[in-house]
Each structure stands twice: as structure tokens, then as C-alpha cells.
Amino acid sequence: MLPLSHILIFTTLLFLIGLYGVLTRRNVVGILISIEIMLNAANINFVAFSASLDVSPQIGQVFVIFIIVLAAATASVALAIVLSIYRNQKTIYTDEIDLLKW
């Protein structure tokens, strides 16, 4: 059995890589891709905790199912917004979408 802390370090690094992508990408779709990586890191944490700590193993996995469903809903709505922005502004780069800035 792998030590729990090694899995936690792995998911921490995965989460930080996703956060780096969110903070540095200019493309909105690239930011969404990075967010999916962050959600996956959290999911692995849920599964690892529920498998190796003294809790009922169903709880963590049910939470992961809910997160996957919410990620699917987020992705569909966010990509619809991206398409709408592209149709109106002809760009999907975050620093060029400045209609509400002054």
C-alpha cells in the first residue's frame, strides 16, 4: 500500500500545475482545460482519503461523482459562454475582452 502522504503530494503538485495554467493562459478554453486538471486533483484526494482513512468509503466516492457531474455542467455552460463571446467580440483572449473595463 502506497503511503497516503505521497498521493497527497502528487495531487498538490497536480493542483498547482492546473492553477499555473489558469493564471497564465490567455485563451479562455485553455483556462477551462486547466480548471479540469484542478478538479481532477481534488477528486483523487477524495478517493485517496476515503480509501485509507477511517470513514465509510462510499462518502468520498459519492462526492467525486457529484464533482464530475458539476464539472460537466460547468464545462457545457462555460463553453456556451465562450461561443457567445466569440460571436460578439471576435476574440476569446482574456486581455482583449475588456468591454466592462474603464
Partner 1 sequence: MDIFGLIGPASFYGFMAGILVLAVLTVTTRNLFHSAIFLAFTLIGVACIYFFLRAEFLGGVQILLYVGAIMTLVIFAIMLTAKMGDPSIPQSNRQRLPVFLALAALAFLLVPQIVKTSWKVVESLKTTSAVELGQALMSEFVLPFELISIVLLAALIGAIAIARSDQ
CA–CA separation, 91 and 27 (whole Å): 9
Q: Is 16 in the site for partner 1 (CB under 8 A)?
A: yes
97 binds partner 1 (CB under 8 A): no
Q: Which is nearer to partner 1, 88 or 100 (CB)?
A: 88
89 vs 36: CA distance, rounded Å: 25
For the CB of residue 76, give the shortest distance to partner 1 in the complex, in Å: 4
Site residues for partner 1, 33-62, by CB under 8 A, read 33-34, 36-37, 40, 43-44, 47-48, 50-54, 57-59, 61-62
Query: 27 by DSSP, 3-state: which?
Result: strand
**Does position 2 bind partner 1 by CB under 8 A?**
yes
List Cα–Cα distances, 30 to 9, 13, 38, 60, in angstroms.
Answer: 24, 19, 13, 29
